[in-house]
Amino acid sequence: MSKNKLRKAMSLAVAAAALALCQSAWAETKELSLQEAMERAFATNPSISIATYARNSARAGYNAARESYGISISAEHQTRRSGYDDDRYVSNFNPDGTVNVTNVGKQIGNSHANGISASLPIYTGGQLEGAAQSARANYKYSEQALQQSYNQLRGDVVNGYYGLMQAGDAQRLCQESVTRLAEHLKNVQAQYDVGVVAKVDVLRSQVEVANAQQSLIKAENARAIAEANLNRLIGLPMSTELKLVDSMQYVPYDNDLQYCLDYAASHRPELEMARQNVNAAKGSLRSAISGHMPKFYASASQSWSDSNWPGDENGNWGVGISASITIFDSGVTTSRIHGAEADLDRAKESLRDTQDAVDLDVRTNYLNMREAEKRISTTEVAVEQAQEDYHIAQVRYMAGVGTNTDVLDAQVALVDAQNNYLTAKYDYQTSKTDLETAIGVPMTIPVKMASPYEASVNAEGEESKTVAAE
């Protein structure tokens, strides 16, 4: 290798080492409770802001549709300078029959006009009513979509928090397994050194230690991924090292399946969203049918015109009522009605499908929770039995009446029992959280949260005052 290449390689190595040191220095360790995780998620997660903006847009659309019933007033001003390209001539006939021709020039001059007009819909055949109905349904839909975002984010944060906790416990169990096998390997090596056991016992124990170390590496990686996922949910830098301060406690769930199904039927946001889609489709159909109906408007106007600025002379006013109806439009209105009817049928079928999907979702999560609950008690007993079995196998091996295979098999059984117990506990917690999301348990923003969206959500009653009660 040339000196230049050697210098370049050394420089790259030094730079990589410096970068690693910087990253280690920048990695922040933060203690985190579940409550704080919830507060941070609702303050920073973009899903909430996206749903909030969508709700605000739909509310503005509903207000605009309602206000279209009112009077509309417009004002207009026009200033023009006009004339002919060529001279203009005017002919005048004299009494004696002769004609006088006068050149009046290009007639270039100014004109100023002002006008104000007002229009009020009297009857539109259901067009405005249908538009308002659709806009109101869209607004109600967006409110439920916002609630769905709250519930989903709550579930994601809780599962993410306990998922990181589970990954940490799994890593701890793998570390304990490595420690036990390493201690056992020392005992086997000591007995081999004095000629008590065969070489095969040492080799087998070394293989088991290596396998346990592989499992530990995977567990460490799984925990790092779970940590990054939780950091993303709560808006922290991905490199932040989290120290969880809460612990998972088993809390029995007292409600039965029928209660959950009934609760979901009236609280699950997706169901209300599907119902509002039906209402919106009904409003669109109503608007489409209005194409065959007459429309009546009241109007009033006042105008002024003058050749001098500001054109406020020669006033002219008028009031009246106009009526119109489309007699023939080549089938356009009929096609729109057919399309709106198809959209309504589709919305109704979507509602039915959503009802079935919610029912299945609730049943699945409820049954999964009950299954995990049963596994908690059985696996807890299995852990105690596996620990005792491993202890007995060790004592028998040290006394020379047991085999190395007995110890290693007992070690495998203990690891399996511990992992099964850990999985059962966390499966119960995640299934319980998913069940609460599935039945639509309302989630509000934590009280301590300081979020730019807190006012718009917690003051929902205040905001809804801008929308007239139906």
Topology of domain 28-91+108-466, CATH: Outer membrane efflux proteins (OEP) (1.20.1600)
Average pLDDT over residues 102-106: 80
What's the CA gap between 328 and 6, in Å, rounded?
Answer: 87
What's the CA gap between 264 and 435, in Å, rounded?
Answer: 10
Answer yes or no: are the C-beta atoms of 238 and 232 closer than 8 Å.
Answer: yes
> What tokens appear for 273 in the block?
């969203």
pLDDT tens, 330-351? 999 999 999 999 999 999 999 9
Average pLDDT over residues 10-21: 45
Q: In Å, how far are 135, 328, 330, 335, 405 from 341, measured between CA atoms?
A: 18, 21, 19, 10, 73
pLDDT tens, 270-324? 999 999 999 999 999 999 999 999 999 999 999 999 888 888 888 899 999 999 9
- pTM listed for this prediction: 0.77
> What tokens appear for 25 in the block?
């220095």
Q: Is residue 224's pLDDT more than 80?
A: yes
What's the CA gap between 7 and 2, in Å, rounded?
Answer: 9
pLDDT tens, 421-447? 999 999 999 999 999 999 998 876 443
Task: Name the amino acid, one letter, at 456.
Answer: S
